[in-house]
A and B are shown apart, each in its own frame.
Chain A
Amino acid sequence: MATDDIWILGIAMTKFGKHADKDIVDLGADAAMAALRDAGVSMRDMGVLAAGNLMGSGGFGQQLQKQIGQTGIPVYNVSNACATGATALRTAIMAVKSGEVKMGLAVGAEKLAGAGLLGGGGQAKSAGKKWEPKGRFGAVAPTDGRIGTDTMPGTFAQVGMEYGHKYGEVSFETFARISEKNHAHSVLNPLAAYQKRFTLEEIMGDMMIAYPNTRPMCSANCDGAAAAVVTSGEVLRTLSPDQQRRAIKVSASVLTTDPYQEACQILPDVNTLTRNAAKIAYEQAGVSPSDLDLVELHDCFATAELVHYDNLMLCPEGGAVDFLMSGAPWRDGSTPVNVSGGLQSKGHPISATGIANIWEICHHLRGEAGDRQIANAKVGLAHVIGLGSACGIHILEKAA
């Protein structure tokens, strides 16, 4: 192992779902302490803490230290929408890579069970009204629902439909097949919020949220946390054979934002920044999409998963539908995608997501994934998108 390589020494996630008896710090502490145990180290070894939480009261990192160990190390509280977990991990990685610290801890935690529809500000009641222009659009009334939609399901529905306009219409049924796959995969994941297989008919016949996304085609709001301990190759060399054997190499760690594109002010462009991040990540890691044994990508909605097959270059440009229909992204296919069940069934506790997807990959690369193990997995890719936008991609490899 090269001295400046970055390694995941320990990683853990809580079960995703409803944790009514736990607050955000409880969840974060569970994940952080499990990751430290998994790594065989303690808070005393950590040189930095990067902490992600969106919906809480702020200062999550310091609150967490009060419960798991106040050693005086710097805390970076990070916030990057759905890419918050990946941003926390990347922050810890940068600290190790810079040589400032030997080990870092990244944690993401969220309480989101029962949160309902995300995005969409709604419209104020009209009693006692006065039309007065406000904000950057000089709007006299809310625009959500009158000039397009701010809801997440509606925004990502348009992302998928736009792909259809560009490359040939994609049917409702085709989008539903993505969710059929992910829910089928979830049956093997005991940490998933939902482990229920649906037929294609059940998915298409369920409650419509934003055409073509029905309810089972949307990510599930839930509670959960995930955490990881990272270190350098130089430090790993000094650790035990067992720690070295289970360590997972971070071959690429990339974070991008959305560069200006003509239509990006109208509909968030989740494509260009993903494609840019993927290009950088493949180059950093020296791997190509065909080398990937499994991929966890940001399927916040079925319509999003489709475009990311293309953005991550798992298929030729414009070929996402053919890729799906060939069976490639099923767990027995050529490029298994979201064998965890994805955000639609595993669940999407926003700030935990960007570390939990890496936990899933590590689990397979270590050969510890039990019933859902992808045989002989050696290389995997984890991807998240935070709308606004931020994209995190990590490529992970089994220790040689």
Chain B
Amino acid sequence: MSQQIAHVSYLKLDPKPHLVANECTSCGARFFDRRNACASCFASDFRTVDVPTEGEVTSFTIVALAAPGVPVPFVAATVKCGGTSVRGNIINVEPTPDKVKLGMKVQLTTFSMGADDDGLEAVGFGFEPA
């Protein structure tokens, strides 16, 4: 079995792919990046929590013009997973306003981003219709 690495550190591949957040132990605010302190209450203790893998599309756009090297069109969206807002692309669906809808139920999925020169495979995530 080849070695894998997640695209971002808040994507965990085992035992099943899911996202994790840094949750402020004092106010419960959740963040996906490395934190110095909580933006909401300024406390500096965090715990790692799992984010639900299913959610609802709360906003989206279909990007037709992007920076060089970014394949278009693609659907960029915000997805509410339980109480946590997540940013991600909607994939495995035709990128048209007929097929992508506000309020649509989606679930986390992963895809290969290819291997590097050492054979390490990067794995990305997106959301697909549930």
- Using CB atoms and an 8 Å cutoff, list the residues of chain A in contact with chain B: 117, 120-126, 128-131, 133, 136-141, 143-151, 153-154, 157-159, 161-162, 164-165, 169, 172, 207-213, 260, 262-263, 265-267
Contact = CB atoms under 8 A, between A and B. Distances in A.
Contact of B122 (A131, A157, A159, A267): A131
Taking residues whose C-beta sits less than 8 angstroms from the other chain, chain B's interface range is 35 or more
A121 B34 CA distance: 20
B33 to A, nearest CB: 4
Given A121-B67, A141-B113, A159-B59, 11 more contacts: A122-B66, A122-B69, A143-B7, A145-B70, A148-B88, A149-B61, A149-B76, A151-B63, A162-B78, A165-B59, A267-B85
B10 A162 contact: no
B67 A122 contact: yes
6 contacts: A136-B34, A143-B7, A165-B102, A207-B64, A208-B62, A263-B58
A125 B69 contact: yes
Nearest to B59: A162
Contacts of B118: 130
Top 4 closest pairs, chain A to chain B, by CB: A138-B9, A122-B67, A145-B70, A157-B61
B76 A158 contact: yes
A223 B130 CA distance: 47
B59 A267 contact: yes
A295 B122 CA distance: 49
B61 A138 contact: no
B66 A117 contact: yes
Interface of B: 5-10, 29, 31-34, 39-40, 57-72, 74, 76-78, 83-89, 97, 102-103, 113-114, 116-118, 120, 122, 124-126
A128 B126 CA distance: 26
Contact of A260 (B29, B65, B122, B126): B29
Contacts, number: 170
Contacts of B59: 158-159, 161-162, 165, 267
A171 B71 CA distance: 26
B102 A148 contact: no
Contact of B7 (A140, A164, A210): A140
Contacts of B57: 165
B97 A211 contact: yes
Contacts of B69: 122-125, 145
B64 A209 contact: yes
A208 B102 contact: no
Nearest to A145: B70
Nearest to A303: B61
Given A211-B97, A262-B85, A153 B9 contact: no
Given A130-B118, A147-B87, A266-B85, A120 B76 contact: no
Nearest to A208: B64
Given A133-B9, A211-B97, A266-B85, A158 B65 contact: no
A149 B66 contact: yes
Nearest to B88: A147
Contacts of A121: 67
Contacts of B84: 262
A149 B63 contact: yes
A147 B126 CA distance: 7
B66 A145 contact: yes
A266 B63 contact: no
Contacts of B126: 146
A131 B9 contact: no
B74 A137 contact: no
Contact of B65 (A124, A125, A129, A209): A209
A143 B120 contact: no
Contacts of B120: 130-131
B78 A120 contact: no
A123 B58 CA distance: 26
Nearest to A138: B9
Given A131-B122, A141-B113, A123 B70 contact: yes
